[in-house]
Amino acid sequence: MKKLIVDKKFDNKKLHDFLLYSFPSLSSNAIYKALRKKDIRINGKRVSENKTIFSQDEICIYIPDNILFNTNLDIIFEDSNIIILNKPFNLEITGNNSLTSLVQNNYSSEKEFPLPCHRLDRNTTGLIIFAKNEVALSILLEKFKNKEIEKHYACIVYGIPQKSSATLNAFLFKDSKKGMVYISPNRKTGYLPITTKYHVLKSNHKKNISILDVELVTGRTHQIRAHLAFINHPIIGDGKYGTNEINKKFKVKHQLLCSYKITFRFRGDSGILEYLSGKSFEIPYDNFYNIIEEHN
């Protein structure tokens, strides 16, 4: 049993919203099932519906911990300083119901840690590093800033690039209001320079698709997705920068983009993380082809 006191910001709000905020890995289905079974009490009274709650209400939840807390994190590597996770699709890195809240629920003895050291889009899967203490976080943030941590992405794009490898240079403008970025081949006011490297890992001429290894030299918002679309090789499943016709053709509803490889290439002092220098962590990218094969 878990006992919670309703905070002021949830005064006159719905019980459902409060529970999702308090237990980010808890599903709506689990909440409504618990309500049907009367496994939730408000101020000592069993409730069977999504009630309005008020500040200082006492909520008692009789839901097993394995349902309240997601214990199925896909951990690739962990020690006393860092965790490297394989992030699933459709999950923000920070905020309510995020990967960070899921991780912190699994390490509840540390209220502020672990914390993520970089970002991935909600619908990008793959490797992300969490620091388990302040010293590790400071070092990793500095190493990312100095480009001493190399990240490689795998993606399936439409078409067969003319060059098997290339370094792409352009300029990117971020429109925060629209949540979009725009690419220009020439420098313009408000546009920042970007560099994206790619290498063709595999191609399927019959289906007219390719798997690319992509390395970000600069790390702008949506850079990979927008830059590849700009050269007419959109990522399959990308609803924002891709093509609806292509996405429907392959029956893919989320972008096939994965952070599949991270290499620590420390040049200077790396303190307590010196042991990571030269190490590389990788997950398979071939499952992307399986997604295509399943539906086509």
The Cα-based distances of 29 to 15, 25, 120, 260, 269 in angstroms read: 14, 12, 27, 32, 49
CATH of 75-147, one of 1.10.10.1150, 3.40.50.12160, 3.30.2350.10, 3.40.190.10: 3.30.2350.10
Tell me the pLDDT tens digit for each residue of 119-159.
999 889 999 999 999 999 999 999 999 999 999 999 999 99
Structure token digits, residue 231: 């050269």
211 within 8 A of 257, measured Cβ to Cβ: no
Confirm whether 2-68 and 75-147 share one CATH topology. Answer: no
For the chain, give the mean pLDDT: 90
CATH class given for the domain over 2-68 = alpha beta
CATH number of 151-260+286-295: 3.30.2350.10
Tell me the pLDDT tens digit for each residue of 153-204.
999 999 999 999 999 999 999 999 999 999 999 999 999 999 999 999 999 9
Q: What are the structural domain ranges in the chain? A: 2-68, 75-147, 151-260+286-295
Hunting for tokens 């970025």 — which residue is that? 181
At residue 245, φ and ψ (nearest 5 deg) are: -60, -45
E-assigned strands of the chain? Answer: 2-5, 13-14, 40-42, 45-47, 52-53, 58-61, 75-78, 82-87, 115-116, 125-131, 149-158, 165-175, 180-184, 192-204, 209-216, 257-264, 280-282
- Catalytic residue among 39, 121, 213, 238, which? 121
- 0.95 cut: is pTM over it? no
> Is 121 known to be catalytic?
yes
Whole-number Å distance between alpha carbons of 254 and 276: 33
